[in-house]
Amino acid sequence: MSGQPLFQGSYVALITPFKDGALDEAAFRKLVSWQIAEGTNGLIPVGTTGESPTLSHDEHKQVVEWCIDEAAGRVPIIAGAGSNSTDEAVDFVRHASAAGADAVLVVTPYYNKPTQAGLMRHYEAVADASDVPVIIYDIPGRSVVSMAVDTMVKLAEHPNITGVKDSSQDLSRPTELGNRIGGGFSMLSGEDGTALPFRAAGGHGCISVTANIAPRLLAEMHAAWQAGDIATAMAINARLMPLHAAMFCESSPGPVKYAASLMGLCGEDMRLPMTDIDASSKTKVKQAMRDAGLINA
C-alpha cells in the first residue's frame, strides 16, 4: 500500500458522558468542541473508552451522529463500529458511513474467539459494507483473540481496509507491517504508555485515553515527533507517563472519567458493571493530574 497514511497524530478515544443514567448530550458536545480547540487531530466516539458495551444500539448511533454534527468537518471522525456479531458490526458500519463518519474502527470479535479464517471473513464482510475506510482494532487483552500479522497483511489488500489501532503491546509490529504492507497503511497505537516507542518503530500516531484530559500536550507531542523535534516529544512523554499509568490504575474508563469530572468536562457517572473508582485510585489520579499540570488543587 503506497502513499501517505490517512490518519496521523493524536486521536482521542472519547468518553461518553452520562447524567441520571441517560446520555448527556450537552456534556458530550462540549467535550467534542473542547478537544478540537485543544488541537486533537481526530475523534473516536463509542469505542471501549466510550462504554459502547453498555449503550443500546440506538444510543450508539446517536452518539456517532452528535460527534459528526458537533465536529462539523473540523477534524476526522473514526466511529466505533465493532461487535462480536458480524451482522451487528455491518449495521453499525453502514450507519456511520451514511451519517458522515470519515472512517470506522472495528474491534476483533470478543468472547466468541474466531479463528484467523473467521477474522478474515468478518473484516471482509464489514469492509464490503462500508463506504469509508475501515481501521482494524486489535486488542487481545480485552477481546482475547489476536490478529496475526499474516492475516492483517492479507486484509490490507482490501481497498477499504486502510489501518490498524494496535493494542497488542508488540513494538516490533509497526516495522513489520510497514515492511510488508507499505507506508499508506495507518498504524495507530492503542497504548498511551508506548505511543512514542510505537512511532519510533514506524507508527503514525495514537488513539489515546489520556487525550480526553490532556489533548493539547499529546497533540504537541505527536507534532514535535513529526517535525523531528525528538527532544520535545520525549520531554512531553516523560511528563505524561505517570498520568498514563494513573488512567489505568483501575479498569478504563473509570479513572479517566473521574479525571474529566475534576476538570469540569462531565460527570463521572458510568453504567454497570462499571463502577466509581476506589478512593485510593482517586488519590492516584489527582496526584498524577497535579504533577502533569492539569489541575492545581
Catalytic residue ranges:
137, 165
Name, in order, each residue with C-beta under 8 angstroms of 157's C-beta and a sequence gap of 6 or more: none
User: Strand pairing of 9-13 and 205-208?
Assistant: parallel
Contact 240, 215 (CB under 8 A): no
CA distance 12 to 210: 8
CA distance 39 to 54: 29
